[in-house]
Structure formats: C-alpha cells, structure tokens
A and B are shown apart, each in its own frame.
Chain A
Amino acid sequence: MKRIITLNVNEKEYEVAVAPNRTLAQVLREDLNLLGTKIGCDMGDCGACTVILDDRPVNSCLVLAVQANERKITTIEGVADGPHLHPVQQAFVEHGAIQCGFCSPGMILSAKSLLEKNSKPTEYEIREALSGNLCRCTGYQKIVEAVKAASQTMKK
C-alpha cells in the first residue's frame, strides 16, 4: 500500500505517495524528476546515487523512500547557489575532474560534506572520504586535486 511521505529536498518540501519498496534514489529521479542523482550499481558499491541525508552522505539506492520521511535531503541540484557554482563544482570544472560525468554528482556531494566537517583535509583524508565513490574515467588524481583546490578557495 502506498504511503504519503514528506521529503525536504534542497530546502523544498515535497509530499509524495510511495510504495514501501521504492528507494530514495528512485523517488528522487522518477517522482521529483531530480535526475542529477545517478543510479549505477544499485547495490551500494559505486556511490553514483550519493545524496546528503540529515548532514551525512549516503547511498540513496540503499535507503527506502519511506525511511527518508520528514528528513532533510540535499541532492546535486541543491548545491549551486542559483547561477553560481559551489566552490567544489567550480574546482571540478577547472581541474578537469569531470570526464563522462556519471560519478560527478556523488563525488561532489561526498567532497562537499567532507569540507564542511574538515576544511583543511590532507590528501589521505580526501581519498578516504571519496572511497565510496567510484570513477572509471579520471583515475581519481584530478578529482583529488579539485577537492584540494576547493578547500583552498573555501577558506578564503
């Protein structure tokens, strides 16, 4: 049976009727049309579906939409400030950290959440924070460089 749930996504409230067996990733994409959240492995291994749920990045393919009822969610669509990219997004563009782009939303959300908790991470801490997000294009180097650069800009 469907239930009515309230999701606070990117500071906007949505009321949706969902069946219990639908994941948060599915509801974000299919009901709210927020297609920035990608579904890769759908098993919690690749991190393409990363969203921030109550201040922590999680695999939205392993969260039931009903579990996210009345909780706060940030997706990649909620990261930029209008036309102005978030410093992490800007750094990804400038450092060539985006190739095919499929992992980028998840990478950016994991990086953003790291920098909010730790404004001066070491390279090891960056690599650890991104270790649940897989990228098959870049070899990670440019992504790590982008996060380092973003931590510099955000400090200023």
Chain B
Amino acid sequence: MHLLPKFDFYEAYDMGEACKVLAEMKSEGKIIAGGTDIMVNMKKGLLSPKCLISLARIPGLSGIEPTSGGIAIGSNLIVSKLLEFDLIRKKYNLLSKAASVLGSPLIRNRATIGGNIVTARPAADLPPPLMAMGARVVLKSKGKERELALDDFLVGPGQTKIKSTEILVSIIVDEPPPFTGGDYIKLMHRNALEIAIVAVAVQITLDGPDGSIKNARVILSSVAPKAIHAVSAEKVLIGEKPTEKLFKKAAALASTDCTPITDIRGGAQYRCAMVETLTHRALSAALRQIKGK
C-alpha cells in the first residue's frame, strides 16, 4: 500500500475563505479538487504539500452558467457531469467527446475539468478541445480576478501561469458560431485508462453554408511539452474553400508543426505520421458536421 505523507486538510465553504487560506499558506498549500492526480503524485512521493485546501463544499463551482456569448464551466465540475449536460453534448460536442475518453468511468466520477487543466499534463484530454474552441480561464486570488486565454495559461509539463495564491474558478467557452464543426480524436493502445499516443482537436468555421474557411484551430496533443496550435496548418486553411486537397495539405503541414518524443507509447516518427492522419480525419469530420452529414 502507498501511504500518503502527512498534511493538514482545510475544507473551504466559500471562495473568499479558500483564497485567504491559500494566501496565508504561501506556497505550502495546494488545492485539491477531484484529487485523482495530486493524490497519485503524493503517494509516489513527488509532492508533499503542508496543507490541502478542498474546493468540494464551495457552492457554485460545480455547474455550468450561461454567459453573454457562451458558457462558464465551474472548475470543480466532475468530468462525468460534463457529459450529462444536453447543452454540452449538442453545442460543445468536441468537449464531450474528449470528456468521454478521459481515464475510466471511476476516474471521471472524481476528476474535475479544472484539475485536468491546472495539472498541465502534455497528454491531458480536455485542454485540446477547449483550446480549439478558444476557451479562457478565470483565476481568483484574494480580492483579485483575472482572465487568461487557455493558450497562454499552459506553459509546459506541469507548468502554468497560475500564481501560488490563485485558484482556477471557471472556464469560459464561447458558443461556436454558425457553420462551425469540430472533432477530437485520441489515439490509444486501449480504450480506457489510457494516455493519448497522439490526440488532435479541430474546430473550423465557414463564412456560409458553402463558403470558405473563416476560422480554423488545429490543436495537437501529446506531441510537444504542451498542447500546441498547428500554426502552419491553421494558416493554410484560413480563407480557402474546404476541399479534400486542402485538408491533405493542412494535415501534412500539421505533422511538421509538432516536436514529439519517443517513449513507451510510441516513437517520434510514428507520432508525426499519426498527427497527419488524425488531422486529416478530424478536419473531414468537422466539415461533415457543418454539412449535417
């Protein structure tokens, strides 16, 4: 059995209290949401915070609120609940697709959307679709609040722009505009409890039913220190008509945008080849979604 190191446990009942305690702890306090990542790291001896501050009893942190142009998702919302909202399945299906392949059903019943972002694992499932949808994160500290694009928030493996006094409270996602489609494809050795070998999230928006591509986001995951934009693929897509030829060209460019490593899950060369295949498939699926096929 793996024993957890000793720590104090603080259960906050409102956000102000959580921020105050976190600030008082300096950098010795850590937030616990679902605990599926932090507890494993603590059991492995990689982390030993003096105090864990739980967000579980803070009201209003585990729901989805409408905003003027989309939704704000509470950071403490568990992944299985994310899958239960009709709104997410219908309008933000990219996100629900990624949520459905995260961990296992048991993990999804504890793991939270905020935790999946803050832990900043290079193969995390929720950041790629959220980046493809242009999501922003809201960070709160004692008396302060700031908003940051998820693109800028993630820095590298386990590293983000969050300060030791800040708590991620919500994730803001704009409603996909008309003529928008997307897809998330995760390549795995098995279908559960598995980390992606490569994952690709795509969202494209056309300027009309048969129009040109107005906006394109292509996100590659598990092939760089963090989820990244396939910048040259996005550049070649925008302004063009969505054709098979264009998608092939963009997919080939995407594989030049990544810098994968070789590890137990796959070789670097294989990962690059798979980036091309999955980007092509995801773009085609996104277009089919727009065309209603």
Contacts and interface: CB of A to CB of B under 8 A. Distances in A.
Nearest to B104: A132
Contacts of B5: 21
B4 A131 contact: no
B4 A23 contact: yes
Interface in B3-51: 3-9, 11, 32, 35-36, 39-40, 43
Interface residues of B, number: 30
B1 A39 contact: yes
Interface stretch (B62-70, B106-114, B204-212): B106-114
B106 A132 contact: yes
A63 B4 CA distance: 12
Contacts of B35: 62-64, 67
B9 A47 contact: no
B36 A44 contact: yes
Interface string A110-131: 1000000000000000001101
B105 A128 contact: yes
B107 A59 contact: yes
A129 B105 contact: yes
B4 A44 contact: no
A7 to B, nearest CB: 15
B52 interface: yes
A22 B172 CA distance: 35
B149 interface: no
A58 interface: yes
B80 interface: yes
A77 interface: no
A66 interface: yes
Interface in A52-67: 53, 56-59, 62-64, 66-67
B261 to A, nearest CB: 23
**Which of A21, A50, A63, A133 counts the most B-chain CB atoms under 10 A from its CB?**
A21
B191 interface: yes
Contacts of A129: 105
Contacts of A19: 6
Q: Which 10 A-B pairs have the closest CB atoms?
A: A132-B104, A131-B192, A20-B9, A132-B106, A21-B4, A56-B109, A42-B2, A59-B106, A58-B109, A66-B9
Interface of B: 1-9, 11, 32, 35-36, 39-40, 43, 52, 54, 56, 80, 103-107, 109-110, 191-193
15 contacts: A3-B9, A20-B52, A39-B1, A44-B40, A44-B107, A62-B35, A62-B40, A63-B110, A64-B35, A64-B52, A66-B9, A67-B54, A110-B106, A131-B191, A132-B192
Interface of A: 1, 3, 19-23, 26, 39, 42-45, 47, 50, 53, 56-59, 62-64, 66-67, 110, 128-129, 131-133
